[in-house]
Amino acid sequence: MTLRRAVPDDALDVARVHVRAWQIGYAGLMPDDYLTALDPGVWARRYTFDVASPATTLAVDGDTVVGLATVSTVGEVGEVWALYVEPARWGSGIGANLLDAAVRHLRDAGFARAELWALRGNDRAARFYAAQGWTRDGRVREDVGQGGLVHVDECFVRGL
């Protein structure tokens, strides 16, 4: 497995991983009909992967995208916007490698602290983030996602 920066031609492959991770990881946390209807082709149009922030790092096995981490370096606090791994690869260390790359990117951009937001009730993610040195800071927000679905996220923070 190698890590590399995403380019525009990666959009559909990234969307496939992103959608599958949502469909498996958010089962029971979001409506089944919503998750089933997610379309990688639609999601792929959201990605630009240009040189502007946010930056997306991919985990690639051969020619296959198996994970992604997106960070934002805009604002006072660096933020991990997205961290998703192909569900069949969960527990293989890909997520930890991507999160480490995201942290390095934010540290290199001059941030001393980072945050990320995770879907409330996503206990698997919460355990993973805790194992990687992230802690809940008590903040929550109501977020409107794709298709207008409203959900509650909780914040995790980490010093860099």
Tell me the per-residue pLDDT of 150-159, one tens digit each, with 9 for 90 and over: 789 999 999 9
Out of 22-31, 72-81, 147-156, pick the least confident. Answer: 147-156
3-state secondary structure of 94: helix
Which residues, 6+ apart, have CB-to-CB distance to 127 below 8 Å?
none
For the cut 80, the answer to whether the pLDDT of residue 52 exceeds it is no
Write the CA distances from 7 to 15, 66, 94, 106, 130, integer angstroms: 13, 15, 19, 19, 30
Q: Which listed CATH number (1.20.120.1200, 3.30.450.20, 3.90.1150.10, 3.40.630.30) goes with 2-112?
A: 3.40.630.30
Q: Are 41 and 15 in contact (CB under 8 A)?
A: yes
Q: What is the mean pLDDT of the chain?
A: 93
For the cut 90, the answer to whether the pLDDT of residue 107 exceeds it is yes
**Domain parsing of the chain, residue ranges:** 2-112
Q: What is the pTM of this model?
A: 0.93
